[in-house]
Each structure stands twice: as structure tokens, then as C-alpha cells.
Amino acid sequence: MAWIGWNTFFTAFVALVHPFFVSVIDINHNEKEATLEISVRTFTNDLEKMIAADTKTTIDLSQASQKNKADALISAYLNKRLGLTANGIKCNLEYVGFEIQKESTWTYFEVKNCKQLNQLNIFCEVLFGVNNQQINILHVKEKGVRKSYELIYPKNLAQFNF
């Protein structure tokens, strides 16, 4: 019993001393609409930091008065750092928008005209540069089957086959 308490304490201490640098990317193939629905979850402060480093422009994503600027900067940054190729065809990620939930920012994209998904290649360097221990967790769902992959810096390519 004491070991469980110590283990929990140690894990919490490590998390405080050494924060996590993680993004989560969910991709769902909507067969009915022939689209790929993409959501990218990042820590808001990390996303702001990377946009500033990439564009030499500061942004506060929580400020409603900066919404249009934020939309343009987020779209440009993530389109540069995330690329999809479905069935051998490069995808056009159409920016839908973003929302902030607590300390995280969810950014949404859509890829149109994707009737079937046999293979998905993903290039991902989301938040590369924040910390060399960056992890991008990828989840892809096709016909109810969910596959996941973890890209640990500097690895930036993954392939899913269905």
C-alpha cells in the first residue's frame, strides 16, 4: 500500500519538474460525407510560443479581439507542420477554426473528396522546437477501426493502412 502512495507521489513530482510536451491529432474518415475530419490538440502556451518563433509575431489566443489574426496564424503554422497524403494523393487541409478548453487549444481541419481510405501517410512536426522531447500522438479512425501511433521527436512520419 505504501508503494502505491510513493509511486503516485513520484509520478506527480516528475510531472511538475518535467512537464509533458505532447500534441494529440485525431483523424476520422467520415465515409458518408467523403471527408477527413481532423482535430489537433496542443497546450495553448506551447502553440503561442511556436507561432511566435515561426512568424516573429506574438499572439494571445484567448483574446477575442485577436481572433482573426489567430485564425490566420494557426492555420498557416499547422498547414506548414502537418501534412496528409491519402491513397497517394496529397490532401488540402481546409482550416475550420479553433477553440480553447482550459489549458488546451483544439484546432479543426477538414479534407474533402476522400471517399475511401486505404492508406494515410502523415507528416507531423507540430510543436517541434518547443522541446526535444516532443511527442505527437496520432489517432486515425476508418470504418470504426481506430489505429494509433506515437511520433517521438525527431521522427516526423507515420503510415496507416486499412
Share of the chain above pLDDT 70, in %: 88
Give Cα 150 distance to the centre of its chain.
12
Q: Where are the domains of the chain?
A: 21-161
Pair 107, 39: CB distance under 8 Å: yes
Q: Cα Rg for the chain, rounded, in angstroms?
A: 17
Evaluate whether 111 touches 36 at the Cβ level (below 8 Å). yes
The more confidently predicted of residues 3 and 99 is 99
Which alpha helices (H) appear in the chain, and where do they start and end?
2-17, 44-55, 67-81
Residue in 31, 52, 55, 121 with CA at minimum distance from that of residue 83: 121
Residue 114: its H or E element: none
**pLDDT tens digits for 90-103?**
999 999 999 999 99
Residue 66's φ and ψ, nearest 5 degrees, are -105, 15
Q: Is pLDDT larger for residue 22 or for residue 97? A: 97
Mean pLDDT for the stretch of residues 78-96: 98
Residue 128 backbone phi and psi in degrees, to 5:
-60, 130
Does pLDDT of 55 surpass 90? yes
Q: What is the mean pLDDT of residues 30-35?
A: 97
